[in-house]
Structures are given as structure tokens and as C-alpha cells.
Amino acid sequence: MATEESLHMPPFVDGGAEALSWLRRMRDDQPLWADARGMYHVFRYDDVQAVMSDHARFSSNLGHFMPGFDAEQVSANLSLQDPPGHRQLRTLVSQAFTPRTVAALRPRIAKITRELLDSVPDHTFDFVEHVAYPLPVTVIAELLGISPGDRAFFRSCADALLGTQETATSAADQARALAEANKELHEYLSAEARRRRGDASSGLIGALAAAELDGQRLTDGQVATLSGLLLTAGHLTITLLLGNILLSLRDNPGVESRLRGDRLAVPAAVEETLRFRPPFHRVVRVTTREVEIAGGVIPARRVVMASTLSANHDDRQFPEPDRFDIDRHPIRHLGFGRGIHFCLGGPLARAETEIALNLLFDEFAEVALAGEPVFHDTEFYGPKQLTVSVRRSADNTLCTAKK
């Protein structure tokens, strides 16, 4: 049994060391745990995987826990849907967001990354602020077809949405603050959907506006919800993954020089980082009925948190789980989830991080972390500030970067 004082997961402010040892204890001693708010938590790989995979018992229909989101927004948000509605929405988004769409974006991702790397300050820069944060929001803006003149507005909406996450004091406050931040973006995206009807070539917004569900077009509001979901699901997650990769390189001397010499190993380093430091560290479900799991019972209609971070460090699944090892094969990590809600943006996330890491190696002969990173608190797993020292490949000038 966990003791009273250990009854919460320590925040990630120290980079995750305390949280990881707390999670290890929970996996071993209390694999099913109800917190003081009545939410249930599972920690072992098999249990986390079961929660993600069994949508009949663990529903994603969390809409009624989100005051302020109207019914249309909830019903069009595929991450909050169960079958059959989920399958319809997912098919529709998958049709618009194809592997070909991602492949076609690769040259643009490289160009945006080069521009960002070219314009980092010479002496002091925060890798998150100058590269890892702007890259994915710019890519998603392009993917959706946001016009260049609206990019600053779009980014300010993303900032507002993300800014709400860690200031709220309760889950209900957080949901309300999120709904407020979401409102402005939703109105903008709805207007864009209306404007682009009949022009399927104008980015993903146009493609979604032209798509049909059971012979019916999506409403402007539904298009806006799906477009907004792609922004919220695919922005900070990539920012964090990029930062987490640099942390993995810092902590594992030798890996960077190996990757610089063998670029074909870069995807394995990205994958191992998704296991070792998954940005999205847990998923949330609600039980549809009483469920037996992890040696205990969860009553019906209870919120369940499944810790992907814990599952990815479970020695029942991964030998020496606390060792960062890019030679693991296969890496069946849960960083992108599992089951019907498996991350739709995985190929884009992999493309962006692989391109960014390769270009970082090309551009800079040396990249070293300087000073202590500043981490997100509880909602996300990864750094929000990451100071780097770099030496450009071309001119050998040492640039020391600070926060």
C-alpha cells in the first residue's frame, strides 16, 4: 500500500526522476489506485494497454466532464467518441490527412526548420522558444491551409490554448479555461470552413469541408472542431518530443556522435524517446460498467487515467526500462497510444522530429545543453525551456545560448 504522503504523483519539475520512482512503486505495490478525487489510475503496461484497447468498457466519451463545450463540438471531436461515431469521423479525417499529405509536406517542413535554425540568435537561445515551439504550429498552419496573413493570429490562439493548461486549479476550472480559449479559434476556423466550401484543394480545412459523412457534408462547426483538434493534438506534443530528444542525447553520451555518423539510426532514437519520455504521459477514459482490472475493481462511470509513462518504463515489458537504448527492437511503446484512438498524427510527428534532428546536426557541429532545463509541471512530460550552446558547422563560431 502507498503511504499517505506518497498519494500523488510528484510533478515533473525535476525532469521526471521523482515521478518515475513513484510510478515504479505504484506499478509494484498498487497497480490499481483510486486518488482522493475518486479517479482511478493504472500503471502496468498490460493494464494501460487494456484500457486503451477496450473501448467497450473504457469509453472516450468524456464530453460531459467538459462544461463549456457545446454538443456539436463534442460530437465532432473524434478523440471524445466511441464506435460507431468514432470510426466514421476517423475515416473521414484519415481520408483528408493521408500519408501522401505528410510526404508532400516534407520539403516544407525542411524549409521551415532551416529558416528557424538560420534565425536563432547568435549567442543565446532557448531551443524550445526558437525551434521546437514554432516548428509544429507553423507546419499545422500550412497543413490546414491557414493563410500567411492569419498565421500570427493562429499562433496566438495556440498560445492561449496551451497557456490554460497549468494555471487552472481544478479539472473543472481547466475545462472552462480551455473552452474560453477554444472559442475564438473555433469561430475563426468555422468562418474559414464556410469560406472554403467547394475548394477541396485549399488545405485540410478545405478537404474536410468537402468531405462527406454518410452522404452528408460536415457542418462548418464540425470542420472547425476537427481542425482545432489537429492543432491541439499535434503542436505541443511535437515541441516536447523535440526537447525530450535533446535531453536523451545529453543523458546518453555517445548517442549523438553515433547518430551524426549514421543518420539511418535517427528514427530509432525518436522511437526510443517516445518510449523513454512520452510527451503525452497518460490517457483518460471513463468506465461504462463495473470493470475488473489490475487485481481490483473499478465501479461504473469512473474516470480512469492510464499512465503511458509508467507503462513505457515497466520491466514486465521492457528489459532494463530505465536505460535509453536505441537498439531496442521492436519498441512496442505506448507513446502514440494503442487501439482505435492510436495517434493519427504519428507519421507527421515522426517526419517533423526526424527532419529537425537531421538539420540540427547539419547546421551545428556541436549542440550542448547549457544550464538547467525548465520543465512542465504535471500535464505534459517535457521541457518548456531548454538552453543550448551551439557551434555552427559553417563558421565554427561558438554560440552560447541561454534562457
List, in sequence order, every residue forming a beta bridge with 40; answer none if it has no partner. 34, 304
Site for ligand HEM in 106-135 (CB under 6 A): none
Cell of 125: 537561445
Q: Is the dihedral of CA 11, 14, 18, 20 positive or negative?
A: positive
DSSP annotation of 248 reads H
Residue 380, classified by CB atoms within 10 Å of its CB into exposed (0-12), middle (13-18) or buried (19+), is: buried
90 binds ligand HEM (CB under 6 A): yes
> In the complex with ligand HEM, which residue's Cβ is closer, 105 or 177?
105
Distance CA 237, CA 89 (A): 22
Site for ligand HEM in 138-157 (CB under 6 A): 140
Q: Which of 341, 373, 387, 389 binds ligand HEM (CB under 6 A)?
A: 341
Q: Which of 52, 209, 259, 305 binds ligand HEM (CB under 6 A)?
A: 52
> In the complex with ligand HEM, which residue's Cβ is closer, 132 or 399?
132
Whole-number minimum distance, CB 396 to ligand HEM, in Å? Answer: 33
279 binds ligand HEM (CB under 6 A): yes
Whole-number minimum distance, CB 16 to ligand HEM, in Å? Answer: 15
Q: Which of 135, 178, 208, 283 binds ligand HEM (CB under 6 A)?
A: 283
237 binds ligand HEM (CB under 6 A): yes
Cβ(238)–Cβ(102) below 8 Å: no
How far apart, in Å, are the Cα atoms of 394 and each of 109, 317, 362, 363?
A: 22, 44, 9, 8
Distance CA 18, CA 180 (A): 33
Q: Which of 31, 335, 373, 382 binds ligand HEM (CB under 6 A)?
A: 335
Distance CA 169, CA 178 (A): 13
344 binds ligand HEM (CB under 6 A): yes
357 binds ligand HEM (CB under 6 A): no
Which residue ranges make up the site for ligand HEM (CB under 6 A)? 52, 78-79, 90, 140, 229-230, 233-234, 237-238, 241, 278-280, 283, 335-337, 341, 343-345, 348-349
